[in-house]
Amino acid sequence: MTKPILSASHFAAAVAALLVSYGSSAVIIYQAALSFGSTPIQINSWFTSLGIACGLLTLGLSLKYKTPIMVAWCTPGAALMVGMTGIPLSEATGAFLFAGALMLFFSLTGLFNRLVSLIPKTLACAMLAGILINFGSRVFVSVETQPLLVGMMLLTYLLSKIRFPRYSLMFMLLIGFGCAYFLDLLNLDHIRWNNPQLVWLNPSFNLQVIISVGIPLFITSLVTQNVPAMTILKMYRYDNIPEKPLVSSSALATVLMAPFGAFMVNLAAISAAITMGDDVDPDPKKRYIANIWLAVLYFLAAVLGGTIVSVFDALPKELLTALAGIAIFGTLLSNLLQAWNDEPTREASLITLLTSASGMTLLGIGSAFWGLIFGIMVYHLNLYVQRQKR
């Protein structure tokens, strides 16, 4: 008997993949958009464009290659941008376009793997960890103003990780909503249906912003999303899929949709594995069906983009800060571990981490870029010293 196209396991995997990807990043994207002074209508466009781009690519690539390929936004890249105040949205949009075009260039020219080899993964992880440390520490700053709300959310997260690690963020969100309701912190009258919108965000190009935002966003997407995603595909024995069309199509989607708020579209990494396991379907050739349903859910998320923005607008800022900050704990820990994984690069990783976390600005360029530059300089200096000792 032929297995029906819709099975409970396919649909459940699709829902889980979307919740893991969307649940931990939506509030981070919201805060990143606010950092650049986006209006509610413009933030609506961010979510609508991301849902459309990710849905179309997930559907098209999964059908073409009969493989569970998930395309998503770059959550670490969104975290990188949170708090980058003083940058106009038009210039940030220009940096998004630059990052997408740069990814497309390296993919089409075949320089993708060569570039990856030039940037030690430990330094890229240290750069991201430095950014996330700054971001995650705001959870504890928010305790000053709302100790009960933030404390209950943090406690819920830690306790649920013991028995229900996959649902810890959901439990934390429910407790956060409940506490905010009983503390009379919710502005429920702000929640309303808003039609999805695509708003043109006229891009402009500023070299300092391109270096501060565009290059770190490109490197973060390259090292933390596209490269691990290809590794995961091979790990699940989908090793006959060419990387160039996957990376190129997601980079092209970024170039086309960045003027509407899709800041970086790339291959999904960790959440993509949810639709690749044996529990999805015993037959590896049928697991891509889960990604077809995932694409449908992406389109639904795009339709609900404006409503999601109104929900965030109704929540107290401490809840949003705690939710976004705690959601990146796992990513922060993973990057910290990988940053110290290679002993010869540990000093360079430390320099990268401290510089990136400092929030410094030099020549109008942000700390993430300088963290990577200083780390690479220390890395090559140490290599030179070691060669001289031999």
* Helix-then-strand count for the chain, H and E: 20, 4
Rounded to an integer, what distance in angstroms lies between the CA atom of residue 135 and that of residue 31?
11
pLDDT, position 70: 93
Confidence of residue 23 (pLDDT cuts 50, 70, 90): low
What does pLDDT average to over the chain? 83
Residue 357 has pLDDT above 50, yes or no: yes
* Per-residue pLDDT, 214: 92
With cut-offs at 50, 70 and 90, classify the pLDDT of residue 385.
Answer: confident
- What does the pLDDT read at residue 166? 63
Note whether 130 and 352 are within 8 A (CB).
yes
Q: What is the mean pLDDT of residues 40-61?
A: 94
pLDDT of residue 7: 67
C-alpha span between 331 and 169 (Å, rounded):
13
Residues with Cβ within 8 Å of 243's Cβ and at least 6 positions away in sequence, in order, are 107, 112, 230
Cβ atoms < 10 Å from Cβ of 172: 25
Mean pLDDT on 110-133: 77
Confidence of residue 249 (pLDDT cuts 50, 70, 90): very high
Mean per-residue pLDDT, 301-330: 77
- Is residue 154 helix, strand or coil? helix
How large a percentage of the chain has pLDDT more than 70? 92
pLDDT: which is higher, 364 or 312: 312
Summarize the confidence of residues 301-324 as an average pLDDT: 78
Give the CA distances from residue 378 to residues 74, 202, 308, 343, 368, in Å, rounded to whole numbers and listed in that order. 28, 39, 44, 14, 16
pLDDT band at residue 95 under the 50/70/90 scheme: very high
Of 166 and 206, the one with more pLDDT: 206
According to DSSP, residue 192 is labeled -
Average pLDDT score over residue span 42-55:
93
> Looking at residue 24, what is its pLDDT?
62
pLDDT at 1: 42
Is pLDDT of 356 > 90? no
Is residue 365 predicted with pLDDT exceeding 80? no
Classify strands 71-73 and 265-267 as parallel, antiparallel or unpaired. antiparallel
pLDDT attached to residue 247? 93
Percent of the chain at pLDDT above 90? 25
Query: Helices in 213-287 by DSSP H: which ranges?
Result: 215-221, 227-235, 243-257
- pTM for the whole structure: 0.74
Q: Which of 160-174, 249-263, 292-306, 375-389 bottoms out in mean pLDDT, i.e. has the lowest?
A: 160-174
| Closest to 349 (Cα-Cα) out of 359, 334, 338 | 338
- The pLDDT confidence band at residue 376, using thresholds 50, 70 and 90, is confident
Instruction: Give tens-digit pLDDT for 145-185.
Output: 888 888 888 888 888 878 777 667 778 878 888 888 888 87
Tens-digit pLDDT profile for residues 2-16: 444 556 778 877 876
Cα distance between residue 193 and residue 302, in whole Å: 13
Per-residue pLDDT at 189 exceeds 90: no
